[in-house]
Amino acid sequence: MDDKRIDILEIPLERDGFLRLLIRHLSGTLQDVVGVEEAAGFVSVVGQKVGEEIDHSYRNALQVDKLTRNQVGKVLVDLKRRIQGDFYIIEENSEKIVLGNRQCPFEDKVIGRPAMCMMTSNVFGTITAENLGYARVELDKTIAQGHPECRVIVHLKRTPGEQVRKGREYYQV
**Tens digit of each residue's pLDDT (9 = 90 or more) over 58-97:** 999 999 999 999 999 999 999 999 999 999 999 999 999 9
For 105-128, the pLDDT digits (tens) are 999 999 998 988 999 999 999 999
Please tell me the distance from the alpha carbon of residue 114 to that of residue 31, in angstroms, as a whole number. Answer: 9
- pLDDT of 37 reads 87
Where along the chain do its domains lie? Answer: 3-171
- pLDDT of 75 reads 97
For 5-61, the pLDDT digits (tens) are 777 778 887 888 888 888 889 888 998 999 988 988 888 898 899 999 999 999 999
pLDDT classification of 142: cutoffs 50, 70, 90: very high
- pLDDT of 3 reads 62
Please tell me the distance from the alpha carbon of residue 121 to that of residue 131, in angstroms, as a whole number. Answer: 16
Cα maximum dimension of the chain: 71
Q: Are the beta carbons of 11 and 89 closer than 8 angstroms?
A: no
| CATH number for the domain running over 3-171 | 3.30.1380.20
Please tell me the distance from the alpha carbon of residue 110 to that of residue 100, in angstroms, as a whole number. Answer: 16
- pLDDT of 97 reads 98
Length of the chain: 173
Please tell me the distance from the alpha carbon of residue 118 to that of residue 106, in angstroms, as a whole number. Answer: 13
pLDDT classification of 164: cutoffs 50, 70, 90: low
Q: Are the beta carbons of 50 and 123 closer than 8 angstroms?
A: yes
Please tell me the distance from the alpha carbon of residue 82 to that of residue 156, in angstroms, as a whole number. Answer: 24
Please tell me the distance from the alpha carbon of residue 147 to that of residue 102, in angstroms, as a whole number. Answer: 10
- ∠ CA 23-166-148, nearest 5°, is 55
Please tell me the distance from the alpha carbon of residue 56 to that of residue 17, in angstroms, as a whole number. Answer: 27
